[in-house]
Chain A
Amino acid sequence: MSQLRVFNTSIFLFVIFLIQETIVSRINFPINGFSLYIAALMVVLSLEDRTGSMVFGFIGGVIMDLSIAADTPFGQWALVMTVMGYLFSINKESIGDFTETPVVFVGFISIASGLSLIFFAIVGTLLGEEMGGIFRNLRLIFVNSLWTFLIIPLFLPFIVKMRRIMLTSREK
């Protein structure tokens, strides 16, 4: 994995984060919102190799920690996304090449988004934060996953194409 790709992917993730914070979070989705950034990060993590999943999980998490609205310790998302990257890296072979079936891929991304939020809530609880009621949080996570399942197919081709552009000729 080249340094140039790490740089390019980080910039790409930051641009998605900017879109999430300035546009997507303005939309009043019923019940709960949809996080384009988490979904895009899950797509990137799922397409990377073992090292890439963990490195981009960490970088993606640090970018999420920059959120103005975040009232959580800096580094919490980095921890959660590093763990997510690790889970992606060790389970990739056992799941198989799910990227060839778009519906399965979208389902996988939705479940992974929900799982990352569950990890975030668990880590937050362990760190002594007030996370709200468990049923409320489960409902928010479920609805977030549902929105991800419905909306991410619109963005998936773009994210995959952008990631392909960022690969160096040797990596292609």
Chain B
Amino acid sequence: MAKGGGNRSRLLLVLLLVSSLFLITLDLRGVNLASGIRGTVASVFSPVEKLFSNLFSPIGNFAGDLRNLGQSNEKIDDLTKEIDQLKSKEILDEDTIGQLSQLRNVLDLAARGNYKVVAAKVINRGSSATFKETITIDIGSSSGISKNMTVISDGGLVGVVKSVSSSSSTVLLMSDPTFKIGVRIAGTQSIGVLSGQGGNTYLLQLLDATGEIKVGDKLVARGSEGGRPFVPGVPVGSVIEVQSNASSITQNADVEASANLNRIGIVAVVVSPPKSDPRDSLIPKPNPTVTVYVTPTPTPSPSN
């Protein structure tokens, strides 16, 4: 009896494993089964995600808030006083102000680069169980979005659209370890490849053996054929440390991204590349330093 049960379990195991391998084979051979099912699920999920995005947006940063728990008690008294003051004033929701600011900045960046964009709200971050760094945005094919479109934020490059459903899209973030982009150093025009490292820093490998990298060098996207997946001129990041390795043929450097990927609420998808390469024009210019010259004038003496 037990042997019969064991055989049945083994048969079931084989059946399930074969089914799994069959599904994988279908997917890898390009049968649209998976994308169709995932697209349907995405269409069903996106209204729910949008709803929860609006309802639970404050909980996203609860971990950061926990760190400030110790200071909370001290702040309670101050905050209680402030509440009375705030009640008497018309105040806009800080979240909305933040989003408006991000939207204004990203549209400003797109206008300067002559990119035709569609703005989108981030409604989800990628599942932690896939090892992929992704976000989900609330626009899809019905808004003219398709695969391999560049996604930017107010700071610069965010990533590239990986999959699209009718009302949402998944964006592969530039921090993903599989993400690679051709970049150009603003000014020197040396070219290289920037790779995601799965964190906040990125690796720049210069293709030109004679080229030089300096700390503070700004990087922009070189752009792809037809503007896909990358439109040219988008700020990507700046060099924070040059790696000195005598045995390496090319120079490498650690790079910090222009966009803060941990704090993106509003992004824009570039649906049409610019007619001409904006070159280095999108790199933020340093604020001019105000110099005040003071000429001392002789003070009248009391004797006069």
Contact = CB atoms under 8 A, between A and B. Distances in A.
Nearest to B128: A33
Contact of B177 (A62, A69, A76, A130): A130
Contacts of A61: 20
A28 B61 contact: yes
Contact of B20 (A70, A72, A78): A78
18 contacts: A21-B45, A21-B49, A22-B49, A25-B124, A26-B60, A26-B124, A30-B63, A55-B12, A57-B16, A61-B20, A67-B38, A68-B45, A69-B136, A73-B27, A73-B28, A75-B21, A79-B20, A83-B17
Given A68-B136, A68-B165, A82-B16, A27 B63 contact: yes
Interface string B166-177: 001010100011
Size bracket, chain A contacts: 35 or more
Interface string A14-58: 000010111101111110111101100000000000110011011
B98 to A, nearest CB: 15
Contact of B170 (A32, A65, A68): A68
B196 to A, nearest CB: 9
The size class of the interface chain B forms with chain A is 35 or more
B263 to A, nearest CB: 9
B22 A75 contact: yes
A146 to B, nearest CB: 12
Nearest to B199: A136
- Among the interface residues A34, A62, A74, A117, which one has the most CB atoms of the partner chain B within 10 A? A74
Nearest to A131: B131
Nearest to B31: A74
Interface of B is mostly: helix
A96 interface: no
A72 B128 CA distance: 13
Given A26-B60, A38-B129, A74 B41 contact: no
Contacts of A21: 45, 49, 124, 127
Contacts of A20: 127
Given A68-B165, A71-B162, A73-B28, A25 B20 contact: no
Contacts of B79: none
Nearest to B66: A30
A132 B198 contact: yes
Contacts of A37: 129
A132 B45 CA distance: 28
B91 interface: no
B64 interface: yes
B131 A58 contact: no
A156 interface: no
A22 B44 CA distance: 12
A121 B16 contact: no
Given A22-B52, A69-B126, A78-B19, A28 B60 contact: yes
B17 A82 contact: yes
Contacts of B57: 26
Contacts of A26: 52-53, 56-57, 59-60, 124-125
B37 A66 contact: yes
Contacts of A131: 131, 177
**Most chain B beta carbons < 10 A, residue from A23, A57, A131:** A23
Interface in B9-46: 9, 12-13, 16-17, 19-24, 26-28, 33-34, 37-38, 41-42, 45
Contact of B23 (A29, A75, A121, A130): A75
